[in-house]
Amino acid sequence: MVAATNDLSSRLAFDSAGLGGLKQAAKAGSPDALKAAATQFEAMFINMMMKSMRDATPQDGALDSQQTKTFTAMLDQQTSQNLAKRGMGLADVLVRQLSSQAANAQALAIGAEPGAATQSGMPAPLSAEAMMSTPGALAARASASVPSASSGLSSGISASGRVQAPHVRSFQDKVGADAEAASKATGIPAKFMIGQAALESGWGKREIKNADGSSSHNLFGIKAGPGWTGKVATAVTTEYVNGVPQTRVEKFRAYESYADSFKDYANLLANNPRYEKVLASAGDATKFAQGLQKAGYATDPLYAAKLGKIIANSLG
């Protein structure tokens, strides 16, 4: 059984025949088979994280094509398999859960009190077959029990059960409270605004800086027009004229905090007549993104598509 298990774990990532073999081996109850099945599931979990990270990154460059995307997906799958072999902690959690379940079943068979072998604080265990059949559901259950320090990776689960990339969770945690406050003022879902802030600032990695290098806290790329009396930050930006990108130096509003940035954004949408239809379609991510583009919020012809993708794939 050990030899067969090692052979399965060395196959290409997510080989359907290999997965079938792992499911059958897991049913046999062998500790080695159980470990291999848990490791394969961990590879799936890591790949889900990597896919979320890819989805959150614009992939419409001049060198991008369907072929490059296919190759990247294959590379991510194999990388996930390699990382899972090293281990990030999830496989160990699953092994403990399933081993506990087997111990309880044995206890029932001999008339002992069930639950003695169950670890405190662990979710109710699933069967090995369920683990290999429902990776998305178990990912949500197990992620809370995975010690992030084991690999330096952290992850979150969105409201719909989607695995979130670490940078997505970090950004959402940083601005979530401010987005909720702005949501109450505008009726726009907080995740829509977080998605737009992420698009404008590159998930906080490309924030507009003040002259001294400090953050302007401008997450929405709002420019400093003639009517702005607050602080100003100057930055290089790309504007599209008739669909052609042009590099310009523009003045942007600067704030004391991210909360002020969200407040100003909420005020802009709530009090500017051209965004009236945007507020009216705040219940639909696609219509919201398209409304912003039609209202002239940004000149990028792909702005609505990019924003809709971030909201749906990273925050949905």
**Which residues are known to be catalytic?**
239, 264
AA letter at 248: R
What's the token pair of residue 313?
A: 């794939």
Q: How many CB atoms lie within 10 A of CB 196?
A: 26
Tell me if 48 sits within 8 A of 139, measured CB to CB. Answer: yes
Tokens of 260: 């002020």
SS3 content of the chain, % helix, strand, coil (to 5): 60, 10, 35
DSSP 108: H
d(CA 21, CA 174): 43
On the CB side of 16, how many CA atoms lie within 13 Å of its CA? 0
**Given CA atoms 220, 221, 226, 232 in this order, what sign does their dihedral have?**
positive
